[in-house]
Structure 1
Amino acid sequence: MNALLALALVFLVYSIGDFIADKTKAFVSSLLVCAIIFTVGFWLGLPKTIFADAGLIPFAKITICMFLIHIGTAIRIRDFIKEWKTVFVTLFATVAVAAGVFFGGRLVIDAYYALVGAPVLAGGVVAYLVMSPVGDVLGRPDVKVFAVLVLVFQNFVGIPVASYFCKKEGNRVRDIFRQGRLQAAKTPLGKTGEKNTFQIFHIPEAFSTPNVILCKLAAVSYISLLLGQMTGLSFLIYGMIFGVILHEIGLLEENCLTKANGLAFVMAGAIAMIFVGLTNTTPDMLVSMILPLCIVLVVGTISCSIVAVLAGRLVHFDWRLSIAMAVTAFFGFPGTYLISLEVARACGQTPEEEKAVLDYIMPKLVIAGIVSVSVVSGVLAGIMVHWV
């Protein structure tokens, strides 16, 4: 397909998703709408190479870490430390997903379906890459296909659940803010002029041009990639950590991609990375594995929700927020970031209310997604792949 035509079609679908999300006040997530449109489209003959034809996949592979660095600049170190409760809840919830599917699911579905489905549901792409050789070792291609189905369709559960409970929590936060019992957080999401706690550098305006910012983002992304290759830990984690630290000490600007006029296209590529997995599904695959797939999704959702609520009680988190953080394992970043934006726009009726909701929900959702998708699930997959 022609590159410009492919790009136009992709942005058309994105626009439809945005429109429906806006009209439904984020009850129906734009990601869910886009996923449905692309899935049906591929079944009806939409070229499966549309994202590559549009140039979004190679572009996203280069810029995805820059996007994580951008998000990192929106969270100050004092806020990161403050979110230790998020890490606590997410850790136990993610383990609960894998444990529930493996030990509970295997009682009613194929044991190897449960084995590959457990870590993949708990983390997505990273876990899938680790677990995908299981089907080859067993000589069972259906096991590998099932892992792909879990990877593809976990979004259809995680996104609406997170969106629904985040909206409920967002309304609660908004009401507290209206009562004057919650102050708007002083974060880089809005210009405050407040000096960072650990700031030791100041960037002159002459050295804060779009080209300079993009140069720094590319260099930091490359360093993150090297560290990821050396340690085996996802380079995206290093990117986000660098974003937090370098902004805190003054070497990276707040909302750096926005200031460099590059956020929209970088985000478009990141979203394409989510939907590219839909090209591997067919109606026949879905029909033949629909029952075990549903069992994995239901068992995993119930397991993580129960554990998240219990863990949330220990750290005094609202149960709705705990569940929303738990299911970020099903879709991860950038879905966590996009849902936060949608919910803030839907719940807030003034810019101040939107900012209060966003400042409260976004750090928790983004950090929860990073912890579950990039860290915990990868460790679990590394352990469970040897259980063949």
Structure 2
Amino acid sequence: MEMNIIMAFTIILISLAIGDIVSTKTKAFVPSVFVTAVLFIIGFWTFFPQTIVDISSLGMPGALLAMYLLITHMGTMMSVKELVRQWKTITIGVAGIIGVVLGVMTIGRLFFGWDAAVIATPPLTGGIVASIMMSEAAAAKGLDDLSVLAILVYVAQGFIGYPITALCLKKEGTALIRKYRSGEMVWEPKVETVEVPEQKSKFRIIPPVPEKYNTTYVILMRLGLVAWAAVAFATATNEIISKFVICLLFGVIAAELGIVDRKPLNLSGSFGWLMTSLMAFVFAGLARATPEMVAKMAVPLFGIIIIGVIGMGIISIIVGRVLGVSKEMAFAIALTGLYGFPPNYILTDEATKALANTKEERDFLMDQMLPRMLVGGFTTVTVASVIIAGIFIKFI
């Protein structure tokens, strides 16, 4: 039976939904992307047509539009004030990413070659956009095996990162709660949000659009203008800096100036749809993953991830010690680069629930650990992975 657009769309969403359900059921121990990737691979090896994502209308060029808008949206989430306050966390997160790069581009390169190291490094920093950028660049060069590797690294890294993060957070939480109970640490509840705040920027020059006029169309129009300007700027400069990095930077600037709202895709109700399109496009890359190719990529896949995580751990722990942050917390912050939000929140929440006896103790632990985990993930996955991909894509 020939697959039509609604059938293809529904099958893709079933695969994505099953991934979410399994992840929720296992409290994020089994990553949703891992489950969905397995389903897609099995599907492509059985009854999925190779073009199922294109048939569903979730492929190109819509996925490219989604990338432009989502990256610009991510830039608007950056609060300069919050990032300055969490400078130690940002430093440790960046140090962890540097550890990944050093590990993979030295030891990983020796074992698996230059192309594999270059293509796998940006996805290992956690970003879905970085994964797509490197996968597409590898495919354009005819490196189909390594194109699939870029997707597989993104899919598999969280599966290694989650249990290590959970262990680090439980050790850190145990030490914190012991100090709190003994009176060594004194804490008073704070009335503040741990997510990127919505406070007014001191750089704002454009007043907010009145709510009655700030419709879905107006919100998306403003975001589209910023993304359009970013792509035009990158093109005019011969893309010395990747257009995706420029989108991110333009998003930051535009939000600070008031040109676009913070989290515009959330405000317009468009985030979920664009993310669905982007995720479907990511898994479309697995159509190239034959059984022989997956078997061939297994060793470099897990070898590169393990080497990268070891490099991340060594550098982040050293920098954390210099900054007065425990090795467990420093490593946990760095590990957020493997998965970002929401797993960083879920893992922290689970650790505090397991260790706290009262609501006050749980609030104390969340206050001590969650801001660092959120900012760490935001810095590494949202910013660093796109920047690294923009640089590394020129090395293929």
Query: Is TM-score (shorter-chain normalized) higher than 0.5?
Result: yes
Q: Alpha-carbon deviations, 1:44-91, whole Å to 9, x = none?
A: 232222222221223221122222233333331212334544554444
* 1:326 to partner: Cα distance: 4.5
Matches within 5 A, 1:122-137: 122-124=121-123, 125=131, 126-127=133-134
The whole-number CA distance in structure 2 between the counterparts of 1:329 and 1:360 is 12
The two structures, once aligned, show a CA RMSD in angstroms of 3.6
Q: Cα distance 1:381–1:3, how it changes in 2: closer, same or farther (>3 A)? A: closer
SS at match of 1:365: helix
Matches within 5 A, 1:1-388: 1-57=3-59, 58-105=61-108, 109=111, 113-124=112-123, 125=131, 126-127=133-134, 144-167=143-166, 180=187, 183=190, 185-186=192-193, 194-200=199-205, 201-229=207-235, 230=237, 231-320=239-328, 322-323=330-331, 326=334, 336-340=340-344, 342-343=346-347, 360-380=372-392, 382=394, 385=396
After TM superposition, the structure 1 stretch with the greater mean CA deviation from structure 2, 162-171 or 302-311, is 162-171
Contact residue 328 and residue 336 of structure 1 kept, 8 A: yes
* 1:270 to partner: Cα distance: 2.4
**What letter corresponds to residue 25 of structure 1 in structure 2?**
K
**What letter corresponds to residue 122 of structure 2 in structure 1?**
G
* 1:185 to partner: Cα distance: 4.3
* 1:358 to partner: Cα distance: 6.3
Q: Alpha-carbon deviations, 1:13-33, whole Å to 9, x = none?
A: 222122122222222222222
Q: Cα distance 1:340–1:95, how it changes in 2: closer, same or farther (>3 A)? A: closer
Q: Cα distance 1:269–1:321, how it changes in 2: closer, same or farther (>3 A)? A: farther
Q: Cα distance 1:327–1:247, how it changes in 2: closer, same or farther (>3 A)? A: same
Q: Cα distance 1:21–1:56, how it changes in 2: closer, same or farther (>3 A)? A: same
**What letter corresponds to residue 283 of structure 1 in structure 2?**
P
Contact residue 185 and residue 360 of structure 1 kept, 8 A: no
* 1:204 to partner: Cα distance: 1.5
Q: Cα distance 1:116–1:94, how it changes in 2: closer, same or farther (>3 A)? A: farther
Contact residue 96 and residue 312 of structure 2 kept, 8 A: yes
**What letter corresponds to residue 77 of structure 2 in structure 1?**
A
Q: Cα distance 1:292–1:251, how it changes in 2: closer, same or farther (>3 A)? A: closer
Q: Cα distance 1:290–1:324, how it changes in 2: closer, same or farther (>3 A)? A: same
Q: Cα distance 1:381–1:237, how it changes in 2: closer, same or farther (>3 A)? A: closer
Gaps of 5+ in 2: 124-130, 354-358
Matched residues, percent identical?
22
Gaps of 5+ in 1: none
Q: Alpha-carbon deviations, 1:148-174, whole Å to 9, x = none?
A: 343122124422234345556777689
Contact residue 101 and residue 117 of structure 1 kept, 8 A: no
Q: Alpha-carbon deviations, 1:328-348, whole Å to 9, x = none?
A: 666xxxx53343465477568
How many residues in Structure 1 have an aligned counterpart in Structure 2?
Answer: 365
Q: Cα distance 1:305–1:189, how it changes in 2: closer, same or farther (>3 A)? A: closer
* 1:35 to partner: Cα distance: 1.7
SS at match of 1:207: coil
SS at match of 2:77: coil
